[in-house]
């Protein structure tokens, strides 16, 4: 595989920093943030659709946790969650049991799936000193009662967060947080757009690192990082490779190992679209920073959030959205990268597959676990898939 040898050293440093952040199970960055601002707190959230704006507005640091990869041996969690449960649930609990979650004062879960939900309450029993809460994200977007219900739910959470931080949140605080995150998400959308148009300029694993860093950094800092990176990336002089263009679907929650993402690319794919932690954008467009901010946030989840297997909108099926995404990114194929035992992703594979076949879009299904470390088999499968598309 031809790797570009003259990589901008500044870019390289940014990627290294991101990788360090993501691999650091001690959450040194979070600890330092707290040390630098005594009295302020950090609240973790389970991968997607968390109302980070609420945490931010309450003056705390929102941190997205996406498992522990292969960096933690399971000692306790296996006995609690047993077979047939995805890894992220177990590694998250394991982090708690091994004191890795110490820097966090709270933890938010939401109604994405049954395993994650039960995890919330198991955590509650095992870590009574932590504020742990569960957000009921609604599954009936068609009722006019839904946005007000979610707004009430957000207000309930906000009251708890205010108690935790000791900071009363005003509407202006919220609007300010919404604007900051809007800007951040807009940059990420820009990054994804760049990948779709000039895939040689930014590899998927690089973009992944940049985006995932946003889970762990204060939004202001991350926005700056993205701004700089976007500027640098555009000036890269890299040649187009002879690769097929694929959209990756199915890794919205548990994350594939970084090496696996690289391997997919090296086997001959440009990943022009993906759902790694839903690209951290969560909304298709900006959340209006006017009016009643809580209601706007709620309305945005109900009416403007990006599709995924853990969000149900019967007005526009996910499978239609996937086909549209393939067309919009001019992808040749879809690669289902599904976390082992992720039931929502398993279920959706069927209608996705049916619709892709109807639209004549080839696809390949792969399974991974975050602790995976040998990739020979996956590699053979991806290579075969690429070969079946390029050789005639």
80 sits near another protein (criterion: CB under 8 A): yes
* Nearer of residues 33 and 368 to ligand SF4, judged by Cβ: 368
Map residue 27 onto helix, strand or coil: coil
State the nearest-atom distance from the C-beta of 6 to ligand SF4, in Å: 38
In the chain, % helix, strand, coil (3-state, to 5) comes to 50, 10, 35
State the nearest-atom distance from the C-beta of 380 to another protein, in Å: 5
Rounded distance between C-alpha atoms, residue 298 and residue 152, angstroms: 9
Write the burial class of residue 198 (CB in 10 Å: 0-12 exposed, 13-18 middle, 19+ buried). middle
351 sits near another protein (criterion: CB under 8 A): yes
Determine how β-strand 42-45 pairs with β-strand 106-110: parallel
For ligand SF4, which residue of 112, 157, 180, 217 counts as binding (CB under 6 A)? 112
* Nearer of residues 42 and 116 to ligand SF4, judged by Cβ: 116
State the nearest-atom distance from the C-beta of 299 to another protein, in Å: 15
Binding mask 101-120 for another protein (x = CB under 8 A): ----------xxxxx-xxxx
Determine how β-strand 131-135 pairs with β-strand 106-110: parallel
Tokens read off for 20: 């360090």
Residues 321-340 that bind ligand SF4 (CB under 6 A): 339
133 sits near another protein (criterion: CB under 8 A): yes
> Which one of ligand SF4, another protein, none is in contact with 117 (Cβ closer than 5 to 8 A by kind)?
another protein
116 sits near ligand SF4 (criterion: CB under 6 A): yes
Rounded distance between C-alpha atoms, residue 245 and residue 271, angstroms: 6
75 sits near another protein (criterion: CB under 8 A): yes
For another protein, which residue of 83, 129, 235, 290 counts as binding (CB under 8 A)? 83
> Which one of ligand SF4, another protein, none is in contact with 253 (Cβ closer than 5 to 8 A by kind)?
ligand SF4
DSSP-derived letter for residue 128 is: T
Distances from the Cα of 110 to the Cαs of 114, 119, 216, 345, in angstroms? Answer: 10, 10, 19, 17
For ligand SF4, which residue of 30, 89, 161, 187 counts as binding (CB under 6 A)? 89
84 sits near another protein (criterion: CB under 8 A): yes
DSSP-derived letter for residue 57 is: H
Rounded distance between C-alpha atoms, residue 69 and residue 337, angstroms: 15
For ligand SF4, which residue of 113, 216, 302, 361 counts as binding (CB under 6 A)? 113
DSSP-derived letter for residue 49 is: S
Map residue 365 onto helix, strand or coil: strand
* Nearer of residues 343 and 383 to ligand SF4, judged by Cβ: 343
State the nearest-atom distance from the C-beta of 246 to another protein, in Å: 16
Tokens read off for 229: 């990176």
Map residue 134 onto helix, strand or coil: strand
State the nearest-atom distance from the C-beta of 30 to another protein, in Å: 25
Name every residue whose Cβ is closer than 8 Å to that of residue 126 and which is 6 or more positions away in sequence. 93, 96, 97
- For 182, other C-beta atoms within 10 Å of its C-beta total 17
Residues that bind another protein (CB under 8 A): 74-76, 78-85, 89, 111-115, 117-122, 124-126, 133-136, 138-140, 142-143, 145-146, 149, 152-153, 156, 310, 312, 314, 317, 341, 343-344, 346-351, 353-354, 374, 376-377, 380-381, 383-385, 387-388, 391-392
Residues that bind ligand SF4 (CB under 6 A): 86, 88-89, 112-113, 115-116, 253-254, 310, 339, 342-345
């Amino acid at each position: 595989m031809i790797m570009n040898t003259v990589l901008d050293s500044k870019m390289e440093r940014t990627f290294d920093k991101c990788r360090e952040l993501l691999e650091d199970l001690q959450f040194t960055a979070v600890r330092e943030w707290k040390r630098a601002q005594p009295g302020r707190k950090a609240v973790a959230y389970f991968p997607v659709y968390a109302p980070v704006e609420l945490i931010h507005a309450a003056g705390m640091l929102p941190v997205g946790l996406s498992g522990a990869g292969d960096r933690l041996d399971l000692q306790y969690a296996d006995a609690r969650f047993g077979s047939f449960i995805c890894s992220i649930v177990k590694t998250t609990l394991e982090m708690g049991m091994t004191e890795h979650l110490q820097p966090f004062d709270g933890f938010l879960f939401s109604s994405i799936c049954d395993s994650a939900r039960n995890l919330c309450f198991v955590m509650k029993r095992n870590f009574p000193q932590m504020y742990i809460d569960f957000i009921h994200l609604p599954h009936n977007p068609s009722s006019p009662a839904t946005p007000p219900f979610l707004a009430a739910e957000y207000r309930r959470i906000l009251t708890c967060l205010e108690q935790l931080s000791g900071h009363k949140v005003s509407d202006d605080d919220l609007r300010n947080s919404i604007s900051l995150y809007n800007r951040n998400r807009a940059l990420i959308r820009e990054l994804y757009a760049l990948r779709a148009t000039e895939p040689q300029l930014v590899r998927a694993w690089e973009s992944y690192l940049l985006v995932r860093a946003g889970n762990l950094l204060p939004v202001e800092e991350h926005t700056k990082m993205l701004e700089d990176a976007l500027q640098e990336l555009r000036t890269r002089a890299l040649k187009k490779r002879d690769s097929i263009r694929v959209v990756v679907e199915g890794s919205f929650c548990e994350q594939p190992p970084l090496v696996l993402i690289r391997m997919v690319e090296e086997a001959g794919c440009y990943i022009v679209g993906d759902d790694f932690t839903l690209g951290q954008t969560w909304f298709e467009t900006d959340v209006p920073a006017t009016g009643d901010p809580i209601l706007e946030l709620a309305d945005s989840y109900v009416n403007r959030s990006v599709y995924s297997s853990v969000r149900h909108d019967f007005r526009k099926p996910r499978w239609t959205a996937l086909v549209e995404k393939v067309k919009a990114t001019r992808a040749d194929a879809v690669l289902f990268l599904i976390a082992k035992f992720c039931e929502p992703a398993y279920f959706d594979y069927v209608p996705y597959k049916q619709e892709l076949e109807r639209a004549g879009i080839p696809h390949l299904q792969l399974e991974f676990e975050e602790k995976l470390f040998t990739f020979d088999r996956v590699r053979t499968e991806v290579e075969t898939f690429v070969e079946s598309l390029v050789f005639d």
